[in-house]
Chains A and B, each alone.
Chain A
Amino acid sequence: MSATELAAAVAPARPERVRRFEARRLRAPLSVLLLLGLWAGTAWLLAAPRLFPGPASVLEAVVRELVAGELLFHLGWTLLRVAAAFALAMLVGAAIGIAMGRVAVLDDLGRPWLLFFLNLPALVTIVLCYVWIGLVEAAAVIAVAINKIPNVAVTVREGARALDKSLFEMARVFAVPRLAVLEHVVLPQLAPYFLAAARSGLALVWKIVLVVELLGRPNGVGFQIHSAFQLFDVATVLAYALAFMGVVQLVEWLGFQPLQRRLERWRR
């Protein structure tokens, strides 16, 4: 690329395009406001504050739980479980995916297992883990991880299949050590697949963690939602759900998006 091409590539877009872009940016917040408005309107029409609370009552419940120290305590427990199950699922799933993507025998042998676990309902895994391992933390984390591992494996397997053979040949000719090949040839090619698996993984894992907590844990967002449900306290149910959704969105904004930008910096 010549110097002028380089300059053109990094120059800002033309002004009119910038302005149109700014207008588009307003659409997402507008859509959130619209949703809030619809919610508030429906709540006002139904006039059943216990069964269908409006945004204000839910916010009130959030503040109440926050001040009481309950919200952060349960949020913390759920986050810990999500983090543990997520890490376990990513590690094991990636290992299985790479192995199946690279070794034909393992792919053929593993496919029926993968199919089995992909179709196994989350609830069944959870119940069986609690029965076999006991009502302990490890059972909860493993149950969630088992639900996610097949998805990670399938995604990473795609990446492992698509690895560029010509770069492996290059590394072989230059007698590059295996570890360096892993770091500079394999992982950069798998990164987009890891990221895709991680994103869809987080979304799935936290939802299953709530079920696990509901069925057999004495704390966490799932436990709190269960307690509130027994009291028909819909505002508290929504308060915990929204608080955790907020945290997950924060992970997306502060974790995944910067990570993706970093990983894709090399692309033109």
Chain B
Amino acid sequence: MAALSVNVVRKRFPALGAAPEKLVLENVRFAASEGETVAVLGPSGCGKTTLLNLVAGLDPEFEGRIERPPGRLAFVFQEPRLLPWRTVEDNLRFVLAGEADAKARIDAALAEVELPDAGPVYASRLSLGMARRVALARALVVRPSLLLLDEPFVSLDQPTAWRLRLLLLDLLARHAVTTLLVTHEPREAVMLADRILLLTAAPGRPRAELRVPLSPEERRDLARIEAVARRLLPDRPEPLAVEAA
């Protein structure tokens, strides 16, 4: 039984001023069963964020049909999108809407992302890496049935990014939540996802769908190797991106 089923026949952005109408996604069709992690991998500008916005219900203007599992939705946006004028704790409380055990859940979520003492800090004072972890904690604290991740580790330095990917791997294993991860970093997809959907460059069309035959332990090793390699080796140019079809 699919928890999430996505069928985007066409997604277009209408012409605006001098900009012509733009086809962004076509025939993107996939499903994810409960607890499964599906990665959508494609080059920059191929419509990954657009796809997540459709799945999240933020943009109802498209041809096709999307079914989400019942329960709460959580979204880790491409930018952390925290409330800078609130503390980390209040940022998490904001999405809990007066649930009884809020405080305990907030503390647990912050401990999970290895920020147990960040509660009273204003979100404006966080480094990007910390802010991304808080955004992750905010997503997990609602105990979502569907988790959307939009390049959650982009624009971090490589060792940090790999450390956080390792952290996310453990979190996903523990929470068993249906996850849709969008990324342009192939290693990230391989490490985190059960299945990978490859998209072409804009407009995004499905290119291939593959299963990742890795055990949890192998995934962890992969992340550790990357983290160490990135720490030891001098910075390389951008990792191999998926080329256009």
Give the interface of A toward B (CB within 8 A): 1-2, 6, 166-167, 169-177, 180, 184-185, 188, 265-268
Q: Is the CB of B74 within 8 A of A177?
A: no
Q: Is the CB of A266 within 8 A of B86?
A: yes
Interchain nearest-CB distance for B31 vs A (Å): 21
Q: Are the C-beta atoms of B73 and A267 separated by less than 8 Å?
A: no
Is the Cβ of A266 less than 8 Å from the Cβ of B85?
Answer: yes
Contacts of A180 on B, CB cut-off 8 Å?
A: 94, 97
Taking CB atoms, residues of chain B closer than 8 Å to A184 are 83, 86, 90, 94
Query: Which of B33-41, B119-127, B196-204 lies on the face that meets chain A?
Result: B119-127
CA distance A54 to B138 in the complex (A): 65
Interface size class of B (residues with CB under 8 A): 20 to 34
State A266–B75 Cα separation when bound (angstroms).
Answer: 25
Given A1-B127, A174-B142, A266-B122, are A188 and B72 neighbors across the interface (CB < 8 Å)? Answer: no
B81 interfacial contact with A, CB 8 Å: yes
- A1-B127, A184-B94, A268-B124 as given contacts; A174 in contact with B83, CB under 8 Å: no
Q: How far is the CA of A208 from the CA of B222 in the complex (A)?
A: 72
Residues in chain A near residue B85, CB distance under 8 A:
188, 266
Which listed residue, B72, B83, B127, B142, touches A167 by the CB 8 Å rule? B83
A268 partner residues in chain B, CB cutoff 8 A: 124-125
- Taking CB atoms, residues of chain A closer than 8 Å to B74 are 173-174
> Which of A2, A6, A174, A267 touches B95 (beta carbons < 8 Å)?
A174
Known: A173-B56, A176-B95, A185-B83. A166 touches B77 (CB 8 A): yes
B142: A residues at CB distance < 8 A? 174
Question: Which residues of B lie under 8 Å from residue A174 when comparing CB positions?
Answer: 72-75, 94-95, 138, 142
Residue of A nearest to B78 (CB): A166
Query: In angstroms, how far is the closest chain B Cβ from the Cβ of A105?
Result: 21
Q: How far is it, in angstroms, between the C-alpha of A172 and the C-alpha of B125 when the chains are bound? A: 25
Q: Are B97 and A266 in contact (CB under 8 A)?
A: no
CB-CB under 8 A from A170, the residues of chain B are 75, 77, 81
Residues of A within 8 A of B81 (CB): 166-167, 169-170
CB distance from A58 to the nearest CB of B (A): 45
* Contact A176/B124 with A167-B81, A169-B58 known, Cβ cut-off 8 Å: no
* Contact B75 A188, beta carbon cutoff 8 Å: no
Q: Which residue of A lies closest to B87 (CB)?
A: A266
8 residue pairs A–B, Cβ–Cβ below 8 Å: A1-B130, A170-B75, A170-B81, A173-B74, A175-B97, A188-B86, A266-B84, A267-B124
B127, A173: Cβ atoms under 8 Å?
no
B124 in contact with A175 (CB, 8 Å): no
Q: Which of chain A's residues have a CB closer than 8 A to the CB of B107?
A: none
- State in angstroms the CA–CA spacing of A180 and B142 once bound together: 16
- Measured between C-beta atoms, what is the minimum distance from B98 to chain A in Å? 9
Whether a CB of chain A sits under 8 angstroms from the CB of B79 is yes
Chain A contacts for B56, CB-based, 8 A: 173
Given contacts A1-B125, A2-B127, A267-B124, contact A176 B94 (CB under 8 A): yes
Contact with A along B82-109 (1 / 0, CB 8 A): 0111100010001101000000000000
Nearest CB in chain A to that of B58: its residue? A169
Rounded to whole angstroms, the CA-CA distance of A236 and B5 in the bound complex is 81
Residues of B within 8 A of A176 (CB): 94-95, 97
Given contacts A169-B58, A180-B94, contact A175 B125 (CB under 8 A): no
Can you name the residue of chain B whose Cβ is closest to the Cβ of A263?
A: B85
Docked pose: A196 CA to B133 CA in angstroms: 35
The 8 A-B pairs with the shortest beta carbon distances in the complex, nearest first, are A174-B95, A188-B85, A266-B122, A266-B85, A173-B75, A170-B81, A1-B127, A266-B124
- 13 additional A-B pairs beyond A171-B94, A188-B85, beta carbons within 8 Å, are A1-B125, A6-B125, A166-B81, A170-B77, A174-B95, A174-B138, A176-B94, A177-B97, A180-B97, A188-B86, A266-B84, A266-B122, A268-B125
